[in-house]
Amino acid sequence: MIVGSVRDEGGFRQEPILPTPILPRVDTYHPFPDFVSQNTEALVVKFVDQTRIRAVSGDGGRGCLSFRREAFVPKGGPDGGDGGKGGDVIIRADASLHTLLDCQYQQLYKAKRGAHGMGKDRHGRSAPPLIVRVPVGTLVHDEETQELIADLDRPGKEVLVAVGGRGGRGNARFVSSRNRAPRRFEGGQPGVERSLRLELKLIADVGLIGLPNAGKSTLISRVSNARPKIADYPFTTKVPGLGIVRIGDGFDFVMADIPGLIKDAHKGAGMGDRFLRHIERTRLLLHLVDPSPHLDNGPEERFDIVMNELTSYRVDLVRKPLLAVITKTDLPENREPADELRAALERRGFEVYAISAATGSGLKELLRGIVRLLKRGRSES
């Protein structure tokens, strides 16, 4: 049974939780000799996780007023056909996309109108639907009512956001015993226009969290195909990044690098709560802690700062399975604080790993721990 961290009066502790559903993943990977398979090139694109669009469905086609020539029939008889239906606007989740960049550049999506009816009882052609492709994990909100319309959390899942207008009826539809030659016909119904807000929540198996400069970017660059910016100052990671790790036995998982959190992040401090939502869909959290004695606050207090931010944002986040990871253990001044922090966290029930992403120390053990929990979760779900 996988365990998750739960907060009570004595702080955070671990207890069993139910596994979450298996979520889709993308296929690419990185190196870890004799444990992780060979690397592939990473695709770098601008990350956009929020945008607004306008969806306009097509107008219905106009019905036709027409009469044919036929003996002994008043005015030859009506033969005006119906107009075609306007095109719908559909938003569909596409596993090949990982950002809302396309919707940022093109914000108006207007479907075609239906064709008009014609004589000889010919109906107008209905317009095809307009498909808006978005990444898996996109939430669709109505901008005016703020209502959640759909959560596109599976590849191929789609939602109809704007229905095309119905085509008008031609005069052939209005024939009656009293009116053998009607001149009545209908115009097509207008399409629907909606303002929508799209919000992407990354779908990943493993999420990296921690204070700025805790070593998240260095870790994901060592075990996945991701190539984030790495520097010795805070907030080098300004947007979440995905890396895919493929283990030698064919087991692969998606890892997400979440920008560093600071105190009061849930209120908008630092990078704010903009990226906290990307943690919601992860199945396992890696909480990275720098044990350096030269930083503000003690290592255990720094650990609690991030845990408190998760609790303040959404209390169920701290119930996710979590591994505590002590980083930068290759530095001599960090060894003693790392041992003290490990003992303190283990007393609180956390599974703890000590690593150095720079030298590779402890990474194999950490990856084995991740795989063990993910495999257990998949087998129990």
CATH number at residue 262: 3.40.50.300
Question: What's the CATH code of the domain at 102?
Answer: 2.70.210.12
User: Of 242, 238, 239, whose CA–CA distance to 203 is shortest?
Assistant: 242
Torsion of CA 52, 149, 140, 161, to 10 degrees: -70
Q: What is the DSSP string of 182-216?
A: -----PPPP--EEEEEEEE----SEEEE-STTSSH
Q: Are both 221 and 98 inside the same structural domain?
A: no
- Between vectors from CA 85 to CA 81 and to CA 87, what angle results, nearest 5°? 150
Residue 75 has, within 13 A of its CA and on its CB side, a CA count of 15
Q: Are both 54 and 43 inside the same structural domain?
A: no
Q: What is the pLDDT of residue 49?
A: 78
Q: Are both 366 and 218 inside the same structural domain?
A: yes
User: Of 165, 173, 166, 167, whose CA–CA distance to 65 is shortest?
Assistant: 173
Q: Are both 214 and 171 inside the same structural domain?
A: no
| CB 167, CB 114: distance < 8 Å | yes
Domain range enclosing 119: 50-200
| CB 27, CB 287: distance < 8 Å | no
Burial (CB count within 10 angstroms: exposed 0-12, middle 13-18, buried 19+), residue 24: middle
Q: Are both 196 and 206 inside the same structural domain?
A: no
Q: Are both 245 and 166 inside the same structural domain?
A: no
Q: What is the pLDDT along the chain (381 residues), one digit of tens a residue?
A: 555 565 555 566 666 555 444 444 443 333 344 444 333 333 344 567 789 999 999 999 999 999 887 777 666 778 899 999 999 999 999 988 878 888 988 999 999 999 999 998 999 999 999 999 998 889 999 999 999 999 998 999 999 999 999 999 999 999 888 888 888 999 999 999 999 999 988 777 888 888 888 888 888 888 876 554 444 444 444 566 677 787 776 677 888 887 766 565 445 444 545 667 777 888 899 999 999 888 878 889 989 988 888 888 877 788 888 999 999 999 999 899 999 999 999 999 999 999 998 888 999 999 999 998 888 876 665
Count the helices and strands in the chain (H runs, E runs). 5, 16
Q: Which of 200, 232, 252 is the last residue of a domain?
A: 200
Q: Which of 200, 222, 254 is the last residue of a domain?
A: 200
Q: What is the pLDDT of residue 5?
A: 60
Q: Three-state DSSP class for 124? A: coil
Q: Are both 332 and 214 inside the same structural domain?
A: yes
Distance CA 100, CA 50 (A): 7
Q: What is the pLDDT of residue 73?
A: 65
Q: Are both 190 and 260 inside the same structural domain?
A: no
Residue 110 has, within 13 A of its CA and on its CB side, a CA count of 4
Distance CA 217, CA 286 (A): 12
pTM: 0.68
Task: Give the number of domains in the chain.
Answer: 2
Q: Are both 171 and 269 inside the same structural domain?
A: no
| CB 140, CB 87: distance < 8 Å | no
Q: What is the pLDDT of residue 91?
A: 96
Q: Are both 270 and 353 inside the same structural domain?
A: yes
Distance CA 289, CA 212 (A): 10
Q: Are both 214 and 277 inside the same structural domain?
A: yes
Q: Are both 171 and 140 inside the same structural domain?
A: yes
Distance CA 336, CA 352 (A): 15
Q: Which of 200, 220, 236 is the last residue of a domain?
A: 200
